[in-house]
A and B are shown apart, each in its own frame.
Chain A
Amino acid sequence: MEHILTVKNLTKKFDYLTAVKDLSFTIEKGNVYGILGPNGSGKSTTLGIVLNVVNKTKGEFSWFDGAISTHEALKKVGAIIERPNFYPYMTAVQNLKLVCKIKEVPNDKIEEKLALVGLLDRKDSKFRTYSLGMKQRLAIASALLNDPEILILDEPTNGLDPQGIHQIRQIIKKIASQGTTILLASHLLDEVEKVCSHVVILRKGEKLYSGRVSDMLASHGFFELKSTQTEALINHLKGNLSFGEIKTQDGLITAFLKEDISAEDFNRSLFDKGIVLSHMVKRKESLEEQFLELTKTQSN
């Protein structure tokens, strides 16, 4: 597998604060990665370091297996960090022409990318007249000018209204479907869950997990059950070794699985025991629940 980015033992200290602590991970071609973590967990600092705007304290990173220097590599990368930064007095097209010059790519993709983000009709308006949503979309267009090997997005929907968030997500999905590697930093878990196949989870600058979203917790999921025969149901669950923790809230019983049982088999066994369910759902923890679980166990 081709490595797009390799980060090894990266550390960044700001005076007394250690923003990133001994962080290592790799980004492989073709996957969609999420960097997750609460505010201040070192996501933006990590991205800043690999993007050449923040100096590292220790450790190393290399782009494309170290074949080329960082600034040359960045020409093959598209990145948006926090707020979109452009020259306010220049129009969208002028700004993008400048980016083309920096990235050393021809100007002929400008119209195409502006169309992709839906800004073609405002291409000759000055950047300062744009709304935040439009600015963010222009930033995406700019990041795509070189048809990058990897697209890095840091909190791309921060501060946008629901419509703007929806637009940005649609664009990200479209890009992901074209096979571009994406690295998405966010504290919005449902956002990551919707688009990412892999995650790196950070807390206070330390890595808690990196790997597939589906392998994050070694969990078999849980059943949500309701029945009029609540006590019989709970007793049955407690007697069944396949179940671990059992929680009851407002008549809804949540039973966590220790091993995999199909919903069908479980339902049949209950029915045989004479317990009839009025509600039954089998599902896995959402990313949010898994994330809270992970960060909780680490903090204890």
Chain B
Amino acid sequence: MIRLLEIEFIKLWNNRASKVLIISYFILLTSIALVAAIKFDIGPIKFHLADIGIFNFPYIWHFNTFITAFFKLFLAIVIVSMMANEYSNKTIKQNLIDGLSKKEFILSKFLTVISFSVLSTVFVFIVSLILGLVYSDFDELPIIFSDLEFILAFFVKLMGFFSFCLFLGILVKRSAFALGFLIIWQIFEGIARGLMQWKLFDGATTDTIMGFFPLQSMFNLIKEPFTRLDAVQTVADQVGEKINLNYHVHWYEVLIVLAWTAIFIYLSYALLKKRDL
């Protein structure tokens, strides 16, 4: 296993484009801390983002995992191109001839996906923990370590998404087209939702069905955190609107994404096995 990771590491780290993207990704993850510094101080209007409670435990787990998940696109590019380049350079053929089995090849890519997900998760955990310790109004241990399921959900979400990218890289064999396919798939899910709601089902049923689509299921893992803020709820109360959302991470949502991950990795393997190179 270590050998497979080392192989992938040599391939990735010597590629300047991948290296730049990976480094920028982790810098961006860290830079979420800079949000804390946002302060408006215009005469009577004083606004400090840290003061409205976004860094309070345990809310910060929810907020940070939701926001940082958007940066995953950087690593998506790295993963799609690390797969597609093996085809365009024909190095996949050479790897197999040199004695890597097809199973090991897929495994080495999947291990890379897992490593990226683990690293990102650890990073987000540490950054959030530090931010929280500095700004949170609550600092009792049980509160700090409540709602940690968002961290787990973050990991599952990244792993599922990267596995999807990996599969697209193998399926399409060209990085640009694979990324294009990803966007088209996103649009397709949007259209599917629209059609279902329009012709077939009511809103709730559509939501349930959409929850089984790969990208939507990954998005569902961590719900938007904004309406959960006290400040927002206060405003909503004032205009007589009741916001009643279930913010929690549900086990079946995790299960759906894990299933997609397994499907994508298995399909990648099946595709590689079936194809003549």
Q: B-contacting residues of A (Cβ < 8 Å)?
A: 14, 48, 51-55, 69-75, 77, 79, 81, 83, 85-90, 94, 97-99, 101-104, 142
Residue of B nearest to A94 (CB): B14
Determine the main DSSP class of B at the interface with A. helix
Residue of A nearest to B17 (CB): A89
Q: Known contacts A89-B14, A98-B7, A101-B6: does B91 contact A52 (CB below 8 Å)?
A: no
Contact B97 A87 (CB under 8 A): no
- Kindly provide the distance from the CB of A72 to the nearest chain B CB, expressed in whole angstroms: 7
Contact B99 A48 (CB under 8 A): no
Q: A-contacting residues of B (Cβ < 8 Å)?
A: 3, 6-7, 10-11, 14-16, 89-91, 93-102, 104, 273-274, 276-277
Contact A71 B93 (CB under 8 A): no
Contact B96 A53 (CB under 8 A): yes
Distance between Cα atoms of A55 and B97 in the complex (Å): 13
Distance between Cα atoms of A86 and B3 in the complex (Å): 19
Q: Which of B6, B11, B277 contacts A54 (CB under 8 A)?
A: B277
- Kindly provide the distance from the CB of B141 to the nearest chain A CB, expressed in whole angstroms: 44
Q: Which of B3, B15, B91, B95 contacts A104 (CB under 8 A)?
A: B3
Q: Which of A69, A89, A98, A101 contacts B15 (CB under 8 A)?
A: A89
With A79-B97, A88-B89, A102-B100 already in contact, 13 other A-B pairs whose C-beta atoms are closer than 8 Å? A48-B276, A48-B277, A51-B96, A52-B102, A55-B273, A55-B274, A71-B101, A77-B99, A81-B93, A81-B97, A89-B14, A98-B10, A102-B7
Distance between Cα atoms of A94 and B16 in the complex (Å): 14
Contact A51 B276 (CB under 8 A): no
Q: Which of A53, A69, A90, A97 contacts B277 (CB under 8 A)?
A: A53
A-B CB proximity, top 5 nearest:
A75-B99, A71-B101, A74-B99, A85-B94, A85-B90
Residue of A nearest to B14 (CB): A90
Contact B99 A103 (CB under 8 A): yes
- Kindly provide the distance from the CB of A47 to the nearest chain B CB, expressed in whole angstroms: 9
Distance between Cα atoms of A75 and B90 in the complex (Å): 19
In the complex, how many residue pairs between chain A and chain B have their CB atoms under 8 Å apart?
80
Distance between Cα atoms of A79 and B98 in the complex (Å): 7
Contact B10 A52 (CB under 8 A): no
Residue of A nearest to B93 (CB): A53
**Inter-chain contacts of A69 with B (CB < 8 A):** 101
**Inter-chain contacts of A81 with B (CB < 8 A):** 93, 97
Contact A89 B99 (CB under 8 A): no
Contact B91 A87 (CB under 8 A): yes
- Kindly provide the distance from the CB of B167 to the nearest chain A CB, expressed in whole angstroms: 20
Contact B97 A74 (CB under 8 A): yes
Residue of B nearest to A145 (CB): B98
**Inter-chain contacts of B14 with A (CB < 8 A):** 87, 89-90, 94
- Kindly provide the distance from the CB of A74 to the nearest chain B CB, expressed in whole angstroms: 4
Residue of B nearest to A55 (CB): B276
Distance between Cα atoms of A90 and B13 in the complex (Å): 10
Contact A85 B93 (CB under 8 A): yes
**Inter-chain contacts of B102 with A (CB < 8 A):** 52
- Kindly provide the distance from the CB of B206 to the nearest chain A CB, expressed in whole angstroms: 42
Distance between Cα atoms of A52 and B276 in the complex (Å): 9
- Kindly provide the distance from the CB of A230 to the nearest chain B CB, expressed in whole angstroms: 58
Distance between Cα atoms of A103 and B104 in the complex (Å): 12
Distance between Cα atoms of A107 and B214 in the complex (Å): 43
- Kindly provide the distance from the CB of A48 to the nearest chain B CB, expressed in whole angstroms: 7
**Inter-chain contacts of A55 with B (CB < 8 A):** 273-274, 276
Distance between Cα atoms of A83 and B93 in the complex (Å): 11
Considering residues A71, A97, A142, which has the most beta carbons from chain B within 10 angstroms of its beta carbon? A71
Q: Known contacts A71-B101, A102-B7, A102-B98: does B90 contact A54 (CB below 8 Å)?
A: no
Distance between Cα atoms of A48 and B11 in the complex (Å): 24
Distance between Cα atoms of A88 and B94 in the complex (Å): 13
Can you identify 6 A-B contacts, CB atoms within 8 angstroms?
Answer: A48-B276, A53-B97, A71-B99, A88-B89, A90-B10, A102-B98
Contact A54 B276 (CB under 8 A): yes
**Inter-chain contacts of A52 with B (CB < 8 A):** 96-97, 101-102
Contact B98 A74 (CB under 8 A): yes
- Kindly provide the distance from the CB of A40 to the nearest chain B CB, expressed in whole angstroms: 16
